[in-house]
Each structure stands twice: as structure tokens, then as C-alpha cells.
Structure 1
């Protein structure tokens, strides 16, 4: 069954099937509804139900506060209609930036760093991500976090993991070359360094979830903060680690900074460091009173949130960005 959905304040309307999300239908019908991941992990597609019945499918915990839920806030990429509806939702005026590949650096067998020289200033905050048009697939986008704070030279850096069947990573690892051009959307996301407190910082990163964590930590170091910073960096296999030398260099330069790499490969008997990301986080401290920044897969993020809540850390001090590889 189809339902009539009216989007306010734009007044645009669309037809949505009962087994279809609002975001999915809007994009299918050429309406530039504001969204990010499309899988209930980022919260960029928050909207407000003004009238009508619906089913809210599961999404990442903490995306909506109790007050937001009471006010009718919903996650539109996980919202299916059960009647005609009226919804307040942000409609974007598409603006694209163009970046030219300035450098490609393989950081690990499965991780490529791509440095873009943008055609003009690209405004973003440390921790945010950009949606990138996949070359050769003009209607396909992929989202990647910026891996360092904003620079004055109009350059942007991303860390991209090779994903089997991934349309963007396959192009990047096998066909991309210096000088190729990419189109980027405006920066998105609310994952960013909070500067309104002086709490010590806890960071938990898995794989290329290190990218926005690096940007956030680098910003705090650039600000000259002396509050303790702890990064737990998890990888499946030792070859998946990257930028460990950079993180260890920070540990030598800044007494308040430490990094704990963790490995989940139980067959690597030569590894003498910490094993398994979240059990190590649980064992190495009581994190009450910290400001926590998490980035990795949805499963890791959910487990980390549960862990930190059990340590007495309030949800308002837990910030995260989760990602699901597109294969």
C-alpha cells in the first residue's frame, strides 16, 4: 500500500510504500532529503512527525534523546508509514565541491590514504564526513570521514579501506590516479570535538574508524589542551594497523597522550600487546568522568556504548560515528 507523505516546510509530497523508508522513497523520487548513512547509524536524517501513523524500525542507540522522542523526533531512514503523514524534514539545496587527487598513499594492505586538492575552501569540523560520488557511477555515493582538522591549503584527506565488491574502494585501489577528480557533498555529521568542558578524553577506534578520531585528537593537540587522552585502536590482524608510528610519536611528544593498540587475531602468537578491543577498554580503567569518542562498525559502537554506560558514563558524554561497509 502507498501513502501520501507531505514534507514541511518545503511542502513537497511523495508516495511511500509501506515497506519503504521515507529517505529511500525521497531519493527514489528525486527529492534531496537530508541524510547520511541511510542505515540508522548516523542520525543525520532526523525529522519530526507532525501527523500520521508509522513504524520506527531499530536504529543505533543514543541517536535520539528521551526529550527528542517525546517531541516526535524520528530517524527517517528507518521510518515506514502506516498512514498518510506530515513530516518536518530538511531538504538540501545540493552543492558540490570538486577535488583533484593530489596523492595516493597505501597505509596498509587494505587501507589507502587519498589526498584531495579542493577547488575552493571546503568547510568542515574535525570528525565530520563527506559523501563522495563514485566515479563511473554518477548516482552512487559513499561516505568517508576527514582524517585531519581543516587546513588552510584547501586539501582534504580520507582513509579508505578496501571492501570486496566495494564500488568506490575497487576504483580507488585499482584505477585511480593522480589528477583524477572527485565530487563531494557538503560535510555532514555531528561527530566532533566538544570544547565546552575540560574532561579527559577517551577514544575507541576500529579499523579506519581511526580517521575521524585522528582529526579530533589532532585538533585537541593543536589547541594546546593538557587533559589526558587515551586512544584504544583495534585491528583484526597486525597488517591492518596503520599510523601506529604517528600515534606513538604523539605519545612521546605529549605526556598526556597514550595509545593502546589491540589485536583480535587469536592465531597471532607473536603479538605481545593487548588483545580484543572492548575487553581491553573495560579492563584498563573506570571511564566515569571522561568524554568518549567512538568510531567503528555498528556492532562495536553498540557494545562500546553499553560498556561505557555500565561504567557510569552518561549518554550525553558519549559521541560516536558508526559505519557499514558497502560491498
Structure 2
């Protein structure tokens, strides 16, 4: 597709999501069209659709941004298609969704931008989306989901838990990926969690979960999960990984439980003899938010290629968490006070690094802005959309 045509589609989608209510309106238009025109599809989705609508708009935006990177786009679409198999979605459902997507785009794009030429271009783009996904789902020979048993549940903070599981059979993920999970306490409510350890033949996996005040599932994950619970885990997603052959050093930036996918990669790298120099900035509001700092310090003390820089907005823990501050081991980086993105950007442009960011959407946005303002090329930076 020509660059001009891609730019028109991207401009159209930007206009759809430009207002605070735009993403919600777009997702609602899509699901309304899908359910009204294709019988039997509503039952594939949970009753509560708020998170589903948010993820849908995010995924479409990510795919539209990737139109100039066909290989990256197709890899993303293939992963999404395989992940949707757990809902009972079949290849023909993707084609029905394509029609509903075109209806939603037409309905939500401002009239001043909508033309016959733009409609043809969108139809071509959506056809590529749906056919790629339909083929990927039809050709996938892996299970639609895996069963797993909770073997450990540790509350490391009042609102944060480390959950360990053993899967019935090993899941073929790579360090840095995430998966959707369904727990018995919240049936039909899938949530995405990043693996915090590398894959292993025993099928052991670990997730780090923080309770979100508005979340339907995170509270159950932190407070209600018990050893022996049976989970369902969807196929691996995401593309965060270190390119060992690029010759570039690595910059990792994590806040909160966003540490998990970066931690898994660092643990896997520690099993190798040679690695690129890697600098991890690990941030939180308070020192106690850096819940896994001691693990990272232990790895750094025996792996000279790894540098850990703790960053907190406050130097003391809050009154409700009166835990003594950790003493930094001799020779390691002392904590820095400040906002994570600004602290990282203050070290320079990082233009010669491969960069990964993991954390909340707001943290990713502010860190991207700080790095870009400091001269870091956007194409050097990777993060996952969901």
C-alpha cells in the first residue's frame, strides 16, 4: 500500500480517537454492528465489556500504526487471532468482525474526512487484518488454552501478590511475553499478565499482580486466589525481547509490576555467558513499591553487564508501610529521586540502545514523551499494546 494511503488511514483513525469519548464510541459502534448483524456472536463475550472495549480500540490503533511494518503487523495479528481461539472464535467470525469494523470506522470518522477513496482504502486494510487473522487461527495447531494449578500465593505488599503456578503442559512462550488468564473467582473475565520468569520444562510460571481500584479481576487475584485453584491461560502474546545480535546495548524501564517481562528476560540473560550491557531503571512512588529490588541486586552483583538504577518519587516509605529502607549493596547504584521518565531522559538520548518500556499506560506515555524530547528515536523503543 502506498505511503499516502496509509497516512490517510492513520489520520482517519487519529480523528476517531481524538476526543475523550472517541475510543468508547468507536468500540461501541463496532460491537453493536457485530452483534446485530451476526447471530451467536454476543454469547462469545463476557457480560461486562468495559475492559474489552478499551483493549479493542487499543489493538486497532496498534495495528493501524504498524501499517508501514508489514512483518510486525502480521506477527501481531497472528498472535491476536490465536489468542481469540480461547473464546470459541472461528475463522469466519474474523470476516464478520471485518465488516463490523468498517461500519464503525465509517460511523465514527468525521464526515469532512470520509470519502469514497478513504472507504476503499479502509476496506483494503481491514481485509488484510481479517484474512491474516483467519488464516493464523485456522493454521494454529497449539491448544486454544492451557490449564494450570496455583502452587504459591505471596502477598508482598497489601495490594500486590506474587502468584506461582504449574501448567499441565509447558506453554511455549518466550521471556518478555504476556498471557491472558481466567481465574475461578471471576469466570469469563480474562486479564493479561506478564510472565515474570523464563519458560522452563517443568511448566512453572510466575505472575506479579497489583490490585487496581477500578479493576474487576485484580482484587480477586491479590486477595482471593488460594493454592490449589485451577486457572485457564491463553496463548502467549507480545514481542518484547533483547536482540542479542544487534550489537546495541539495552535500556529497560519498568514501574510497578511492569517489571515482570523485563525481569524474565534478565533472568534468562543471566543463564548465558555473554550479553549486551543492560541498564534497568526500576521506578515507583515509594521505596516499598520496588518490591523485587533485592532479587535484581542479587543478579547484578554476579553479572557485571547489568546495571540497576532504582528511581522513586519519594525517598521514604509511607506511614502505612513502616518498613525499614533497604541498604544498597556496595558498588551498586544508589536510588535516585524523581519521576521515572525524566530521570531516564536526564542520562542522555539513549539513541544507540535498544529500549523496552513496561508499566501502566500513563507511565509508558510520559516516558515515551521524555525520551523523544531528549532525542531518542521512536523506532528504538518497544512496548506492548495490551
Tell me if 1:218 matches 2:280.
no
Partner of 1:281: 344
Instruction: Point out the structure with the larger helix share.
Output: 2
Unpaired runs of 5+ in structure 2? 1-24, 36-40, 46-50, 78-97, 108-118, 319-323, 326-333
Query: Which whole-Å CA distance do the structure 1 matches of 2:192 and 2:349 have between them?
Result: 33
Determine if the alignment matches structure 1 residue 82 to structure 2 residue 106.
Answer: yes
Q: Go from structure 1 to structure 2 and tell me whether the alpha carbon gap of 1:300 and 1:266 turns closer, same or farther (over 3 Å shift).
A: same
In the alignment, structure 1 segments of 5+ residues that lack a partner are 1-16, 47-58
Partner of 1:125: 174
Task: After superposing the two structures, state which structure 1 stretch, 106-115 or 164-173, moved more.
Answer: 164-173
Question: What number of residue pairs does the alignment pair up?
Answer: 288
8 Å CA contact retained: 1:296, 1:321: no
What is the root-mean-square deviation of aligned Cα atoms in Å? 3.6
Q: Kindly tell me: are residues 268 and 136 of structure 1, through their superposed partners in 2, closer, same or farther at Cα, counting changes over 3 Å?
A: closer
Corresponding position: 1:138 with 2:183: no
Deviation at 1:238, TM superposition (A): 2.2
1:293: which partner in 2? 356
**For residue 230 of structure 1, what is the aligned residue in structure 2?**
279
**Offset, 1:155:** 0.9
Structure 1 pair 41–277 and aligned structure 2 pair: CA distance change class (3 A)? farther
Distance 1:302 1:111 in 2: 23
Residues 1:319 and 2:382 aligned together:
yes
1:156 aligns with 2:205: yes
Larger Rg: 2
Of 270-279 and 244-253, the range deviating more from structure 2: 270-279
Work out whether 1:20 is the aligned partner of 2:33. no
Question: How far 1:29 sits from its partner (Å)?
Answer: 3.2
1:134–1:142 contact (8 Å) kept in structure 2: no
Q: What are the equivalent positions in structure 2 for 1:1-327 lying under 5 Å apart?
A: 20=28, 22=30, 29=42, 39=54, 45=59, 59=61, 64-65=65-66, 67-68=68-69, 80-82=104-106, 87=127, 88-89=129-130, 90-91=133-134, 92=137, 95-265=144-314, 273-275=335-337, 276-321=339-384
Give 3-state SS (helix, strand or coil) of 1:212's partner: helix
Q: 1:302 to 1:169 in 2, by over 3 A?
A: closer
Range with bigger deviation, 139-148 or 127-136: 127-136
Q: RCO higher in 1 or 2 (8 Å CA, sep ≥ 6)? A: 1
What CA distance in whole angstroms lies between the structure 2 residues aligned with 1:173 and 1:18? Answer: 32
Separation in structure 1 between the aligned mates of residue 182 and residue 351 of structure 2, nearest angstrom: 41
Q: Deviations over 1:177-216 (max 9, x none)?
A: 1111000111112222333412111010011000001012
